[in-house]
Each structure stands twice: as structure tokens, then as C-alpha cells.
Amino acid sequence: MKKQVLHSRRHGKRVETPQGVWVLWKCGRTEDTSKVKDLSVGGLFIETAKACPVDATVELHFLVQDGELRATATVRYVLPGKGLGLQFKAIRQEDQARFSAMIKRLFQPQNDRLEVTP
């Protein structure tokens, strides 16, 4: 008997985000501030009880230590009551360096991260 192998369409490694990664988002008339559960160079999953239709465009405003980051994404799937799986469409040109810095920081092993206290 052959085992069926399922192939993921995901092209990038996904990392669970620490408590501090939040995003302000808007999809049509629906708006929310949500925790980013996980993130990759190709997309993210946000925790929210609100829903948007699959294939809808979402405006994203990240609230992170790297500074203001804005992007647009497409809703790829909805987990009712849990959140939205989003695929990045575009990251503003002026935000691409900060986005890269955020991705690099999040992909560092936990014990390699520097804790900054005020």
C-alpha cells in the first residue's frame, strides 16, 4: 500500500511570532487589531474572530519594534472564530528593508535574541 504524500504550497519557512507582533488590518469595512500567530516571507496567520472572504484584499499595518510596516495581502483561508491565513501581495518599497530586518530578527533562535529593556 502506497502512502499518499501531501505537498504544501508554502514556499517559505514559517516562524511562530513572539507576543510583540501585532497588526492593524482592514478588509473592506472590517477592521481589527490582531496578534500575528506566525509569519513567513510569503504570508502570515492573524488571530481574529472577524472574517473576510477568501481572495479579498487586506491592508496591513504592522506594529513592531522595527518601525512602521505597511503591506497588502490576499485572504487565502479562513478558520472561523480563529483567524485568517494571508498571502502577501505587496510590501511598500520604503518598508522592504524594515520588513527584511523583522523577518531576520524573528528567524533567529530564541537564545540568540537580545532582550532590550528601557
pTM for this entry: 0.76
CA distance 69 to 98: 7
Residue 96 lies in a domain: yes
Contact yes or no for 91/99 (Cβ under 8 A): yes
- 17-21, 53-57, 80-84, range with the lowest pLDDT: 17-21
Amino acid residing at 52: C
Cell of 4: 499518499
Cell of 100: 527584511
Residue 53 lies in a domain: yes
Residue 52 lies in a domain: yes
How many separate domains does the chain show? 1
CATH number of residue 52's parent domain:
2.40.10.220
15 or 114, which is more confident: 15
Residue 10 lies in a domain: no
- pLDDT at position 71 over 50: yes
Residue 6 lies in a domain: no
Residue 5 lies in a domain: no
Report helix, strand or coil for 53: coil
CA R_g for the chain: 15
- pLDDT at residue 18, rounded to an integer: 64
Range of the domain at 95: 15-108
Average pLDDT, the chain: 80
Percentage of the residues of the chain whose pLDDT score is greater than 90: 47
Q: Name the band, by pLDDT with cuts 50, 70 and 90, for residue 117.
A: very low
